[in-house]
Amino acid sequence: MKERYLEVTFRKGKPLAAYLYLPRTAGAKSARTESVASGLLVDYGADGEPIGFEITAPEKITVAQINAVLEKFGLPSISQEELNPLYAA
């Protein structure tokens, strides 16, 4: 996968959880997970590279929090528009 994308799970019209897929090699699977903030987990592949963010509390997560983690890994920041589905309902 060459580009990141956001997948949101809704229940009763409200975001329940989300996953921000990061660019990774085909077939990469999570080998370990690390909590980096309340409601934000990072999944790592077997090679130790981040492959995605689990957003378990969408109402608590901010763009600044996600961008701080992206910056830690040397990845491009995310815009508010990319996260708008988390706040749509």
Q: Are 24 and 18 in contact (CB under 8 A)?
A: no
Strand partners, 6: 20
Model confidence at 46, pLDDT cuts 50, 70, 90, reads very high
Residue 76 confidence (pLDDT) above 90? yes
43 contact partners, CB below 8 Å, separation of at least 6: 30, 32, 33, 50, 51, 52, 53, 54
Domain ranges of the chain: 5-87
Which pTM value belongs to this model? 0.92
Q: DSSP for 28-60? A: ----EEEEEETTEEEEE-TTS-EEEEEES-TTT
